[in-house]
Amino acid sequence: MQHARSGSDSLRYIAAQILGRIGDRRAAPFLQELINDPNQYVRERAVRALGQLGDPGQRGHLEGVLLGDRAAAVRDAAAWGLGALRDTAANAALIRAQRDSAAVVRQTALSALQFLWTPAAEEAALAALRDPDESVRYVAVQLLGFHRVGSAVDVLGLALVDSSVGVRAESARALGLIGDTTAVRALERLFTEHRGPDQDAARQALEQLTGLNYAIAP
């Protein structure tokens, strides 16, 4: 590690990569130095390595990067790292990151909440249905379905008319998982008005909810 400190950008990058794969928590002080490296790619690799250590003691360092680094790719790595810690104490920072200017950061931070599910995480997922980026909305409906959030039925029904076919399809799947038959009418509209993966997802959800067969016209 001493040689890496004074070595090239490539050497510092490789050192961080190897230390992350090894996962030895004794590497934490060195990686903490590298998260302030002038090279963005070294910082990103060091941040991911800190997450790979699985040490909740690194939460503060990762939160600082998530909320403060100038590079979106580095902030994205920090969001991933916080999720990897499986520590709900990180939720406040991950939820705050839903205001990040980069969609990829918002998406990764929201995804990280899947394994850190709390009422606040649920509220963040509901709010993310209004995100301007379809990839974030897609993750939001996935989370609400995965956790079978009954209070989300109405907003998921509205998401069935989203401009993104992926969001519409995932919303239908989420409603099928939640199992509330009040969604049947909205799903039937999606089924009859569209062709493609969203129609097929609506068909599957309807069959889950009603036990009836819904045939797709050739």
Spell out the domains of the chain, with CATH numbers in brackets: 1-116 (1.25.10.10), 117-218 (1.25.10.10)
pLDDT at res. 129: 98
Q: What is the mean pLDDT of residues 19-40?
A: 95
Q: What is the pTM of this model?
A: 0.92
Average pLDDT over residues 96-119: 98
Question: Which has the closest alpha carbon to 168: 133, 143, 126, 196?
Answer: 196
For residue 25, give the DSSP letter: G
Strand, coil or helix: 196: coil
**What pLDDT, in 10s, does the model give residues 114-139?**
999 999 999 999 999 999 999 999 99
pLDDT of residue 5: 65
Strands (DSSP E) along 83-191, which ranges?
none
